[in-house]
Chain A
C-alpha cells in the first residue's frame, strides 16, 4: 500500500451493483465480505484502489468491488499489475488469484512479482482444486485427490504456496482462511507492508473440494489446530475456553520445531518460542510445519520490508535522465551528422 489520505467509507460503498455469481456457500463470499469490511477500516479510497485478477473463480472478485478493476487473462495478473504500478505508483493495488492461476499457469509471474517486490497485496485463494473448469486437481491438491482428470487419485506432489513465496523472495507472508474472523487483521497487516505482500487464504470449494480444510478450519477444536502468530508473543495454542495448553519450541538437537506442553504462565520455562516476524528462518520452519503433528500456522508468518521495485525504477529513471534534456529535435540529430547545402551536390552522370 501507499501513504494516503484516509477516506470515510462504509462496507456498502465497496459493493457493486453486479450480481455475485459464485456458487451458494462458496468461501469466496466470506473473503469478499472480509475485504469489504477491511477497506473502510483502512480509510482506503475506492477511486485510488485497483483490484487486478487472472482467471478462475477467485478472479471474478474485481467485478464485485466498487473500485477500479481489471479481470485479465489466466496467470498473467502479476505482470499486468506490475505495469499498472510502474505507470502509477500511487494506486493501491490488490491482486486476486488462485492456486491454479497463481501457481500453475502463472507461477512464473508470481515468482517475479515477489522477487521484484512490487508494492501490492496478493491474495491467493487456495481451494486445492480447479473450480471454474469443473474440478480437476490443481498444483496444491493433496496426493490422492480424486478428480475428473485424476479418477483414481492425483499422484503429483503439491506445492506449498507460502514456501514458494518465501523461496521467491517475498518479504511478507500471511495466512488465513475464508471464514476466519482474524482474516481482516491479516489483510490489514499486508496492506501496511510496503512491498509485495503475499497472503494465502484457504478457501472452501463446496462443490469440488468440500471441507478439505475442515481439519483445522472447523470451529470445533479449532484452538488445538490453529496457531495464530503474533509478533513478539509466545507461540501458544489450545482451547481458548480452557486456556492455552501447548506451545511451539525449538528442538536444538535436530533444529526442528516441537510441540510442548505450556501455558501462559510457564511458557518461558517450557522454552516456547516468541514469534519474530522479521526472522526468515523461523518463517521457513513455520511454513513447512506439517499439519497433524503440528497446528496450522496462521496470521503474519513473515514481515520484513525492503525497498520496493517501483521505487527502484523511479530512482533509476531519474538517475538515467539526470542532466539530460528531453529535446526531440536534438535527439533526432544525435550522432555524426552532415549537412547537404542547396545546389552543392556532385552529380556524376
Chain B
C-alpha cells in the first residue's frame, strides 16, 4: 500500500489490510479494537480477525506468544478480514517472523527496533537480525525505536520504564491513526474512561498516542510514509455500531427472551471462546437475566434445563469439548421436551484441540452427536451481525416447539467485529410463550401435542397440574413411564417429526441465481470469503452462485431442488467435509468438498482458485 501510494500518488486504494502483531503482553488486541472503533466511526466498512495464543501470558518474546489483530477496511463492501496485510506493525522480532509470510509484496512493515535485541532475536530464532540483512528487501521497512520514543513521550508523568513501555501500543495506535487520518478524540475519551481511577495513566497513554501521531507527520515530511484517507462507504442510512459475534449472540438472546416474554436463565462454565457470552449476559440483569457459573459443563446445561422446567428460558453455552459433556443432558431436554438454547462457539478439535483458533468441525456433533434417536433443530450464524438474528431464531424455535435448539457460531465470529446497523426492536415479531394453566383433558395430559407437535409447558407451582417427567420413555399423552414397543415407536416418530416439521424459511440465494454451472454452498463463518470470491468470479463472467445455509437442521424444504438446479455443487468448510456429507445424504446431490482445518479462515484466493478449478 505504501508503494502503491507512492507510485500513484493521486489515487488511494479502496481497501487496506493492517495487521498489528506483538507479544501477547503488548496489548495488540486493545490496539486493534480501538483502531477498529476509529475506522467504524470514519464510516468505512470493515472486518477484523483477532488471532491470539491460548496461553494467557506466554513467555515473553516467543514465537508461540505472538498475538495479532488484523483489520480490513475500505470504502467498498468488506466481507473478510483480508487475505494478506498491506501493513504489518511488528512490535518485536517474533511478531515479525510469525506474520511476515502473510504480508503482500511491496507492503509496509513498521518495526520497533527497541525490541530487536539479541535476547529477543534469539527467542524468535533469528540467527541474523533481519534489519541488518536483505531479508526484508521486498517490503518497505519503517524501523525506529518506538520503545525509546514512548519512554520519552511519557517522561513528564514520572512512570518507571516498565510502566512507561506499557503505553507503546498507544504510541503505535497514534501513528496508525495518523496514517489513515483518523480522529483521536474517541480514543482519548475511551482512555480517560478506562483509567478513570488512575488519571495519570490515562494522561500518559494519551501523551503516547499524541506522540505517535506527531511522529507520523514528521516522518511524512522525511518521505517514507504517506497519509491516506480511505473514504467512507455508502451504506444504508441509519444508526451503526461495531459488534462482535459474542456480543451479538448475547443481545439476540436477550431480545429473543423479551419477544418470548420470558425471564432468561443462563448456565455457563468458563471455556474459550464461549465465555464472552457469559460475561456479556452477567451485566444485563436488568433484562430479567440470571447468570449462573456452574461447577462444570454438565451442571451448566442441567441448571438451564431445570430453569426451563420451572418456566424460564434456559440457555447454556460452550465450545466443542464442553458441548460433548452436555450431550446426555441434551437428550434429557429432548426427552422431556423442554425449550433450551445451546450455543456452541466452535473451535479447533478434537479434544482440547486449538482453543483459540476457529473451525466448523462440530456440525456432526450438533446434528447427530447424542445417544439414541435424539433430533434437535440446529441453526448457524454467518457473521457477527447475523448472530443477533440467529439467536432470536433459536429462541423462537425452542419456545414454539418445546425443544432444545443448538446455535452454531465459531471462534472467528465470536471474536471478530463488524459494523452493524442497529435494528429497531419495534420491528421484531413477538412470540409470547404460553403456559398451561388448567387441565387439558379429563385428566392432565403433559404430552398431548398441539398442531406443531409441541407438548404443553407446565410450570411447577401451578395449582393442581402436578405431574412427573423424566428421561425414561414417556407414554403418548399421559407422559407416564412406558416401555411398550408400540409406544416407543410412536414417541420416537413424534420427536423426529416434530423437529422435521419446524417451520424454516425457504433457502435464498446470497449471490447469483437458481440454476447454472456452479453453486458454492456454505454455512457459518465462511460467508465472508465465499461471498467475495463468488462476486469476483461473477465479475469475470463466470456462472457461479453463492448459497449460504442458516437452518442446518431441519434444512430448508426447497434446498434439495435448488442444489439440483446446478451442474456442480462445491461446499467449502473449515472441517473435513461434514456439511457436504449431510447434503449428499439428504438430497443425493454430488456435493464436492473444499476443506480447510488449519485453524485459520479461508482466504479469498483459496476460494477463487477452487471456483475456477470447479468450472475449468
Contact of A331 among B284, B310, B426, B465 (CB under 8 A): B284
What are the residues of chain A within 8 A of B292 when measuring CB–CB? 82-83, 86, 313
From B43, B232, B241, B285, name the one whose CB has the most chain A CB atoms within 10 angstroms: B285
Q: For A333, what are the chain B residues with a Cβ–Cβ distance below 8 Å?
A: 239, 241, 422
Bound-complex Cα distance A111 to B299 (A): 12
Q: Which residue of A lies closest to B190 (CB)?
A: A336
The contact of B37 among A18, A80, A336, by CB within 8 Å, is: A336
**From B14, B328, B423, B462, contact of A73 by CB (8 A):** B328
Determine if B114 is an interface residue (Cβ-Cβ < 8 Å): no
Known: A108-B295, A338-B41. A80 touches B287 (CB 8 A): no
Q: Does A165 interact with chain B (Cβ within 8 Å)? A: no
Contact B232 A345 (CB under 8 A): yes
Contact A71 B303 (CB under 8 A): no
Within 8 A of B (CB), among A11-49: 16, 18, 46-48
* Complex: A167 Cα to B208 Cα, angstroms: 53
| B238 engages A340 (CB within 8 Å) | yes
Contacts of A76 in B (CB 8 A): 298-299, 302, 329
Asked whether any CB of chain B lies closer than 8 Å to the CB of A84, the reply is: yes
In-complex Cβ contact of A63 among B12, B296, B422, B481 (8 A): B481
> Given the known A-B contacts A68-B467, A328-B255, A329-B425, are A339 and B239 also in contact in the complex, defined by CB atoms under 8 Å?
yes
Q: Which residues of A contact B240 (CB under 8 A)?
A: 337-340
- CB of B360 within 8 A of chain A? no
Residues of B within 8 A of A62 (CB): 468, 470
Q: Are B332's CB and A345's CB within 8 A?
A: no
**A340 touching B237, Cβ below 8 Å:** yes
What residues of chain A lie closer than 8 Å to B294, measured between beta carbons?
79, 82, 112
Provide the residues of chain A in CB contact with B242, threshold 8 Å.
Answer: 335-336
Residues of chain B within 8 A (CB-CB) of A342 are 237
A317 lies within 8 A of chain B by Cβ: yes
Selected contact of B306 from candidates A87, A318, A346, CB within 8 Å: A87
Whether A331 touches B251, Cβ cut-off 8 Å, given contacts A88-B459, A338-B240, is yes
Given contacts A73-B471, A79-B306, A320-B285, contact A329 B424 (CB under 8 A): yes
A47 — which chain B residues lie within 8 A by C-beta?
Answer: 461-466
| A87/B307 in contact, CB under 8 A | yes
Contact-residue size bin, chain A (C-beta under 8 Å from the other chain): 35 or more
Flag whether B564 is at the interface (Cβ < 8 A): no
Residues of B with C-beta under 8 A to A241: none
Partner of A320, one of B231, B283, B305, B328: B283
Contact digits for B106-131, partner A, Cβ 8 Å, 1 yes 0 no: 00000000000000000000000000
Do A331 and B469 contact each other (CB < 8 Å), given the known contacts A84-B309, A339-B239, A345-B233? no
Q: Which residue of A lies closest to B443 (CB)?
A: A17
Output the least CB separation between A180 and chain B (Å): 27
Asked whether B234 is an interface residue with its Cβ less than 8 Å from the other chain, the reply is yes
The distance in angstroms between the C-alpha atoms of A242 and B480, with both chains bound, is: 51
Greatest chain B CB density within 10 A among A47, A83, A87, A329 is at A83
Given known A-B contacts A47-B461, A70-B468, A329-B424, A83 and B298 have beta carbons under 8 A apart: no
Contact with A along B460-488 (1 / 0, CB 8 A): 11111111111110000000110000000
Interface centre among B76, B298, B306, B467 (most CB of A within 10 A): B306
A91 with B310: CB separation less than 8 A: yes
Tally chain B residues at the interface, Cβ within 8 Å.
81
Is the Cβ of B303 less than 8 Å from the Cβ of A83? Answer: yes
- Flag whether A81 is at the interface (Cβ < 8 A): yes
In contact, B470 and A109 (Cβ under 8 angstroms): no
CB within 8 Å of A: which B278-297 residues: 282-288, 290, 292, 294-296
**Residues from chain A with Cβ under 8 Å of B14 in the complex:** 348-349
| Alpha-carbon separation in the docked complex, A257 to B233 (Å) | 82
On whether the beta carbons of B283 and A79 are closer than 8 Å, the reply is no
Within 8 A of A (CB), among B200-255: 231-242, 251, 254-255
Specify which of B236, B299, B460, B463 lies most central, judged by the most chain A CB atoms within 10 Å of its CB. B460
Give the complex CA separation of A86 and B291 in angstroms.
10
Judged by a CB distance under 8 angstroms, whether A72 is at the interface is yes
Instruction: Decide if A72 touches B283 in the complex (CB within 8 Å).
Output: no
What is the CA–CA distance of A111 and B295 in the complex, to the nearest angstrom?
A: 9
Q: How far is the CA of A336 from the CA of B306 in the complex (A)?
A: 38
Asked whether A83 and B43 contact (CB < 8 A) given A47-B463, A66-B466, A90-B461, the answer is: no
CB distance from B368 to the nearest CB of A (A): 20
A80-B309, A335-B241 given as contacts; is B461 within 8 A of A48 (CB)? Answer: yes
Residue of A nearest to B284 (CB): A331
- A216 to nearest B CB, angstroms? 34
Which residue of A84, A326, A334 contacts B288 across the interface (Cβ within 8 Å)?
A326
Q: Please give the distance in Å from A320's CB to the nearest CB on chain B.
A: 4
Which residues on A sit within 8 Å (CB–CB) of B312?
Answer: 87
* Chain A residues with CB under 8 A of B470: 62-63, 69-72
Chain A residue with Cβ nearest B338 = A70
How far is A78 from B14 in the complex, measured between Cα atoms in Å?
Answer: 58
Alpha-carbon distance between A82 and B237 when the two chains are bound, in angstroms: 47
B186 interfacial contact with A, CB 8 Å: yes
Instruction: Tell me the smallest distance from the CB of B23 to a CB of chain A, in Å.
Output: 28
Given contacts A73-B328, A80-B303, A83-B310, contact A331 B239 (CB under 8 A): no
Is A152 an interface residue, CB under 8 A from the partner?
no
Pick 10 A–B contacts, CB within 8 A, sort by A: A46-B466, A62-B468, A69-B468, A71-B469, A80-B303, A82-B306, A83-B309, A108-B296, A109-B298, A342-B237
